[in-house]
Structure 1
Amino acid sequence: MPPALTSGWSRVLQGERVLGEADSILKFVPYSDCKQGCSGMLYVTNFKLAFLTADRSSYDNTGKRNRSKILGDDDIPLTNIDSIYTVSLSGKRKKMTVDSKMPTTETLEVHCKDMRIVKYGFKFAPKDQNKKFVNTLIHHAFAKKDTLLFAYEYGRSNELKDRELICDCPMFDTIIDWEDELQRCKANKTWRVADVNMSFDMSQSLPRYFVVPTALMNNDIQKAASHFSDRRIPIWCYTHINGNSLLRMSAQDSDTDQPREVSRMLDAVKVASNQRNKPKIVKVEEKCPSCQEVQESFVKLRKICMSDTMQEFSNQDAVWNTSLENTRWLLLVSRCLAACNEVAEEVTGGKRTVVIQERTGWDLSCLVSSVSQVLLDPHYRTLAGFQGLVQKEWVRMGHPFQRYLSLVTVSEADTEQVPIFLLFLDCIWQLLIQYPAAFEFTETYLTTIWDSAYIGLFDTFLFNNDHQRYHFSRNEGKNIKQFKLPSVWKWDFQLGSEDFSFFKNPLYLITHDEELVSSLNELQVLSIQGMFCRSSRNNSFTTSLEQNRNHSQDARPERIDPLKKDLLVPNCSSLSIRLWTQCYLRWQSPAQILSGGTPTQYLQQCVMVEEIAQLHHKLKTLQLRESLFVEFRSKNDLIVSHQPNKSKISELLNSTALSSSFPFSPGPALKEKQFSFTPICSYIRNSSLDYDKYVDDDWTGTL
């Protein structure tokens, strides 16, 4: 491994090795028409494409922070590369494949799956490195089988201990996790965890453990399974407080009406739900778009969100609304939300359990089931609950991440993504915008999940199902130690504590923390008809409290149906569905709002919550002044808050430029003085709360 790379910004992982390198490469500044850039070395390893500048700024750990613990700002995981183009000396642009004849490259364009475009100039690179490097990159960027992925090498060579793999959310890979979920839903008396698929003999797309009615024996399940596509029988997902449940199943064989075994299974579901009527079957194909529609729409969306010159951006901007409408992406989001809302309303207001049916049972049914549960249950709006939901409904139920994320390209057809999981995250983002105080997490958390799916290192998104995961971890039956790959939910594997702070929603904290809610209620009582809160400089804060009035302690229970008090009802109209700009437009610098956008709103909310917490603590300190008891103030885990490790937070605030793409945009280089970015630290200094005085005067602890 070259010394510059091993001591560089990017953390070199176990099993990572350099496959090719090119010297005197120019990395061009986006939207500079290849007229601005910096010189350095370009490396391709079996994990990533890495660029290191010629000066020490790439590998000097002062004055700059890493993008993450495993990737630097100038690193691109090979699994994140969507396509590669070469521009010859004559200016001809060509998309490269493994079978392409390698021309002499003047400019290399790398199009990423997260909608970035990165350009490298090879004009000054040694001629013997030119073709060789490009050829090496193309051959390793598109793996033909999963054993060629870097995760295979990393899993075989790493020495991760069990404590380094433990997450705070259930993985649903054991009977205990499923039983705990049944108990949480108060459904453990009529539903049980079945182990009929322990060896994947029944179905390779189902997990080893899943939940079925207690009345069904393993023998009954095996008999009925043959009548369902891929043997995916009705499987329990969730039970509401009113006793109605939610299940998923695949389509029945077309040559059968409804055999006795299938009728008996549906009768068992009816009995488990303590109902007279048979379950209501909701067919996903009638409510939601097809996989092909999602794929085609995403291709169009990606095209309008991936300009790389000012001229191209200007041309797209002139017809932006029309182009966005033509993608039909927002319409797909609206249709999916409407279908989920229908399921949730049926569960809460109907008299029957709902069974979601889909031909495969692992595509859009994952989305409908999981979004419906987010609408129904506030537990899934927390960090741990949401992560457990993804594990339960996507990872364990066999959503083909490897295929749909195009991590392995066996054929030309595999190069196109089918981003159903992104569509799901977009639906959650729409709910987060409509109910800003109902979720513990932020849009930055959702965007980070999507980015993590393309790193190609996490067990969560690497496989198509548990059967593939099981055999992959055992090296296809060979007698070596089992592979160990981290879960994406083990956030400290790739992020620092200051990065994790961006995941915390300040509005959720202020509406769900008992002490802060109590303080707010007292302030509203003391004010005249709540005018103090209404005159707040943060209008979204007041709006969120009004929209989430049912979640506060001063709600009026007599007006609320107790079975619907936690239900979210999304507005699915086209006028209410918005484009998720942070996820889709963050790399388009001409579209960024300098010193503005939703990040300023987010930081304002953090400042307000910290100010309220500070005043609340000071009030308690004054009340206990004559007491011998000293109460230490707990931190709220927000990015702008009282933190024990103040030095790291200060470094972060001083090194990050604020724009509407915060915190994903790294900001301008120091040489680009013409860009007017405002550092976060300056923004905080001009707010009502002085960052240097977050710690109370009465604070007796040590920072």
Structure 2
Amino acid sequence: MEFIELIHINKLNGVILKYPRQDNIDGTVCITGHHLILSSRKEGVQELWLLHKNIDSIEKKENKPSSGITQGGSLFLKCKDLRIFQLDIASSTELNLMAQTLENLSSLQDPSLFYPFFYRHMNPIVENGYTLYSIEEEFTKVLATEEWRVSRANQNYTMCSSYGKAVVVPKNIDDETLVAAATFRQGGRIPVLSYRHTNGAVLMRAGQPLYGPKHRRCRPDEAILNAVVAIGTKGVIYDLRSTNSISQQQSKGGGTESNANYSQWKIYNRSMDEVDNQQLLESYSKLIEACNDREISCDKWVSKLESCGWPESVRNSLHTACIIAQHIHQKAEPVLVHGTRGEDATLLVCSLVQIILNPDCRTIRGLQALIEREWLQAGHPFGARHRCGPYAAGAPRAAPTFLLFLDCARQFLEQFPCSFEYRQSYLITLFEHSYASQFGTFLCDTDQERQSRGVYTQTTSVWSWLNQPGELPKYINPLYDPTPSVIWPSVAPMSYVIWEELYLRWMIEQNTEDREEQYKVIRSREQKLRSQAQQLRRELFDLAQQYYEPKQETCDK
């Protein structure tokens, strides 16, 4: 397919761009295969380059007819990076042609037609981001213990289509056992190592067991898990679903581990069902709707914010991570985490646990490595999850799980401002590129798909760009003072802080000297929550450090 077949109008003069808190721009719109470009003849006005893939929703509004004739109208382009543009077009015919063209180009589904395959980096690439974080280098210390090994049983993706080619597994478990165990886990996602703590306790992740209504058993799977439990001790399994969800999955052939077959493991559940279904996208949409409401009073806005469900998802994610981290750090217990497929809530929680326990994950390159091994190589389906944002009707598999992770990381930065090497602008940059980018890092759903489509050879990694000497300093936190110990975030409702620099940033004038003052005006909406949080935060941190106890809810067997 050629882009020309989708472009019904490629240039249009006299288009007026309207944007909140900005002067209107009268200019010319040009449409290419990947960008909408609006330029003005007025000197000093910067061009607008908008990736079609960034467009989340297109709304057309025609002007009221005059003398029975409709004359032009407006296109409202709502973007995945949360911007909203209004394009005023004088002719109804050109309005319709422009709307159809943008609909065609923004709804392309074939990754090979996306911009990263056509983009050419202007500066020399110092390092290849696709080869920076190999599994052998990331687990060097673990492999040196003689207890773990790198398995390439999935070299051809036959064991598990969503895992990478290599996984870290117990050394005394051979590849034949891994392949046999894969038939017992959803999507072949066998238990693999996610993190090994300094005290030797490990964090593993997997897909749900295919226990089913016939109570199926798999001894190879039991062997993998029992290999990490010391004699006379027990491990801990956290199923990230409610008991109702587990029962529903069991009727369909899934379920959770049985106490009888996994006697060396204690089984608990922490309900994070909203992360694994459409509910999370709905919460995100309601959050952005509340942020875009400029007329609402402070009290009503705070109420609307809390009722949207997003703050609760952030707190629940952090709370679950804290409980699991406590098992690992304080009790030295091995932990297995899984939900249904193990591609969303599982990866989210495992990533947060590592930020709590591992100081390396609080550095810029450490976060890159974490995203590589816990999201990209672990099979988070970025292509499907980021197919739409908060403004679209919603694709069947779309969900802002990765954004939820970044928001949780933002909460860490708020509570521990000196413990992280990166600023929140770094997290915002990752958010933007995960949805629409000139780089190929977040393309496709799996490592297998990225391999088959040539992503690693035909596109540039976002890490290659971010790690350039001229780019990296923008994201370094000048207050960074490495914290070698574990950090426990407060999960109290008063400690939640809305990420105004992301969700509210387009409500504020850009490139003005008094930008910080404008942020203070926006922040007044959450004055009550923040004032109480300031009074309680230090006390909550002290309590979390000294008396943190997990709330353990046993699965209903």
Q: TM-score range by the shorter chain?
A: 0.7 to 0.9
Q: Which residue of 1 aligns with 2:107?
A: 142
Q: Quote the Cα distance in structure 2 between the aligned partners of 1:416 and 1:117.
A: 24
Tell me: CA distance 1:400–1:19, structure 2 relative to 1, closer, same or farther (3 Å). Answer: farther
2:504 to 585, 590, 593: 585
2:222 to 239, 263, 276: 263
Residues 77, 454 of structure 1: 8 Å contact kept: no
Q: Which residue of 1 aligns with 2:443?
A: 462
Shift of 1:305: 2.1
**Structure 2 letter corresponding to 1:595:** D
After superposition, give the CA deviation of every residue in 1:397-420 in whole Å (9 maximum; x if it has no partner). Answer: 000101111169xx9752784100
Q: Quote the Cα distance in structure 2 between the aligned partners of 1:359 and 1:86.
A: 40
**Secondary structure of 1:85's partner?**
strand
Superposed, 1:514-593 pairs within 5 Å as 551=483, 566-589=485-508
Residues 21, 41 of structure 1: 8 Å contact kept: yes
Q: Which residue of 2 aligns with 1:369?
A: 350
Instruction: In structure 1, list runs of 5 or more residues that go unmatched.
Output: 1-16, 60-71, 93-102, 308-312, 475-481, 513-550, 552-564, 598-657, 662-703
Shift of 1:467: 1.2
Q: Which residue of 2 aligns with 1:180?
A: 137
Q: Quote the Cα distance in structure 1 between the aligned partners of 2:50 and 2:509.
A: 22
Shift of 1:284: 1.6
Q: Quote the Cα distance in structure 2 between the aligned partners of 1:358 and 1:592.
A: 44
Q: Quote the Cα distance in structure 1 between the aligned partners of 2:302 and 2:359.
A: 35
Q: Quote the Cα distance in structure 1 between the aligned partners of 2:396 and 2:488.
A: 37
1:304 to 274, 290, 297: 290
Q: Which residue of 2 aligns with 1:660?
A: 519
Q: Which residue of 1 aligns with 2:370?
A: 389
1:27 to 17, 23, 40: 17
Shift of 1:275: 5.3
Compare CA radii of gyration and give the structure with the larger one: 1
Superposed, 1:241-280 pairs within 5 Å as 241-255=198-212, 256-270=215-229, 274=230, 276-280=232-236
Q: Quote the Cα distance in structure 2 between the aligned partners of 1:257 and 1:375.
A: 36
Shift of 1:457: 3.0
Tell me: CA distance 1:127–1:82, structure 2 relative to 1, closer, same or farther (3 Å). Answer: closer
**Secondary structure of 1:227's partner?**
coil
Q: Does 1:502 align with 2:474?
A: yes
Q: Quote the Cα distance in structure 2 between the aligned partners of 1:211 and 1:436.
A: 33
Tell me: CA distance 1:145–1:240, structure 2 relative to 1, closer, same or farther (3 Å). Answer: same
Q: Which residue of 2 aligns with 1:689?
A: none
After superposition, give the CA deviation of every residue in 1:195-240 in whole Å (9 maximum; x if it has no partner). Answer: 0111111111111111111011111111111011111000001111
**Secondary structure of 1:147's partner?**
helix
Q: Does 1:45 align with 2:46?
A: no
Instruction: In structure 2, list runs of 5 or more residues that go unmatched.
Output: 1-6, 242-268, 521-557
The farther-off stretch of 371-380 and 257-266 is 257-266
Q: Does 1:211 align with 2:168?
A: yes
The farther-off stretch of 444-453 and 315-324 is 315-324
Q: Quote the Cα distance in structure 1 between the aligned partners of 2:505 and 2:82.
A: 9
Q: Which residue of 2 aligns with 1:108?
A: 75
Q: Does 1:78 align with 2:52?
A: yes
Q: Which residue of 2 aligns with 1:131?
A: 96
Alpha-carbon RMSD? 3.1
Q: Quote the Cα distance in structure 2 between the aligned partners of 1:415 and 1:362.
A: 15
**Structure 2 letter corresponding to 1:315:** I
Q: Quote the Cα distance in structure 2 between the aligned partners of 1:406 and 1:354.
A: 33
Q: Quote the Cα distance in structure 2 between the aligned partners of 1:357 and 1:215.
A: 23
**Structure 1 letter corresponding to 2:64:** S
Q: Quote the Cα distance in structure 2 between the aligned partners of 1:365 and 1:114.
A: 25
Q: Which residue of 1 aligns with 2:433?
A: 452
**Structure 2 letter corresponding to 1:430:** Q
Shift of 1:362: 0.7
Shift of 1:456: 3.5
Q: Which residue of 2 aligns with 1:400?
A: 381
Q: Which residue of 1 aligns with 2:312?
A: 331
Q: Does 1:198 align with 2:155?
A: yes
Q: Which residue of 1 aligns with 2:525?
A: none
Superposed, 1:605-684 pairs within 5 Å as 660=519
Q: Quote the Cα distance in structure 1 between the aligned partners of 2:167 and 2:9.
A: 43
Residues 508, 519 of structure 2: 8 Å contact kept: no
Q: Quote the Cα distance in structure 1 between the aligned partners of 2:24 and 2:285.
A: 29
1:166 to 112, 124, 128: 128
Question: Number of residues paired by the alignment?
Answer: 478
Shift of 1:591: 12
Q: Quote the Cα distance in structure 2 between the aligned partners of 1:260 and 1:589.
A: 59
Shift of 1:294: 1.3
Residues 182, 188 of structure 2: 8 Å contact kept: yes
Residues 9, 97 of structure 2: 8 Å contact kept: no
After superposition, give the CA deviation of every residue in 1:113-156 in whole Å (9 maximum; x if it has no partner). Answer: 12111111112xx66643322221111111133333233444xx
The farther-off stretch of 23-32 and 426-435 is 23-32
Tell me: CA distance 1:24–1:580, structure 2 relative to 1, closer, same or farther (3 Å). Answer: same
Shift of 1:589: 2.5
2:341 to 360, 376, 381: 360
Q: Quote the Cα distance in structure 2 between the aligned partners of 1:195 and 1:496.
A: 35
Tell me: CA distance 1:415–1:31, structure 2 relative to 1, closer, same or farther (3 Å). Answer: farther
**Secondary structure of 1:507's partner?**
coil
The farther-off stretch of 586-595 and 198-207 is 586-595
Shift of 1:316: 6.0
**Structure 2 letter corresponding to 1:314:** E
TM-score (norm: length of structure 2)? 0.79
2:419 to 417, 435, 438: 438
Tell me: CA distance 1:209–1:246, structure 2 relative to 1, closer, same or farther (3 Å). Answer: same
Shift of 1:437: 0.7
Q: Quote the Cα distance in structure 2 between the aligned partners of 1:484 and 1:208.
A: 20
Residues 84, 138 of structure 1: 8 Å contact kept: yes
Q: Which residue of 2 aligns with 1:284?
A: 240
Work out the percentage of aligned pairs sharing the same amino acid.
25
Residues 196, 202 of structure 1: 8 Å contact kept: yes
**Structure 2 letter corresponding to 1:235:** V
The farther-off stretch of 44-53 and 439-448 is 44-53
**Secondary structure of 1:27's partner?**
strand
Tell me: CA distance 1:132–1:415, structure 2 relative to 1, closer, same or farther (3 Å). Answer: farther
Residues 115, 305 of structure 1: 8 Å contact kept: no
TM-score (norm: length of structure 1)? 0.63
**Secondary structure of 2:87's partner?**
strand
Q: Quote the Cα distance in structure 1 between the aligned partners of 2:63 and 2:418.
A: 55
Residues 185, 240 of structure 1: 8 Å contact kept: no
Q: Quote the Cα distance in structure 2 between the aligned partners of 1:277 and 1:25.
A: 70
Structure ranking higher on relative contact order (CA contacts 8 Å, 6+ apart): 2
After superposition, give the CA deviation of every residue in 1:261-307 in whole Å (9 maximum; x if it has no partner). Answer: 2211212232xxx5543421111224224233312211111212235
After superposition, give the CA deviation of every residue in 1:603-656 in whole Å (9 maximum; x if it has no partner). Answer: xxxxxxxxxxxxxxxxxxxxxxxxxxxxxxxxxxxxxxxxxxxxxxxxxxxxxx
Shift of 1:460: 1.8
**Secondary structure of 1:575's partner?**
helix
Residues 62, 92 of structure 2: 8 Å contact kept: no
Q: Which residue of 1 aligns with 2:550?
A: none
Residues 80, 114 of structure 1: 8 Å contact kept: yes
Tell me: CA distance 1:137–1:500, structure 2 relative to 1, closer, same or farther (3 Å). Answer: same
**Secondary structure of 2:237's partner?**
strand
After superposition, give the CA deviation of every residue in 1:553-586 in whole Å (9 maximum; x if it has no partner). Answer: xxxxxxxxxxxx6111110000101101101000
The farther-off stretch of 399-408 and 370-379 is 399-408
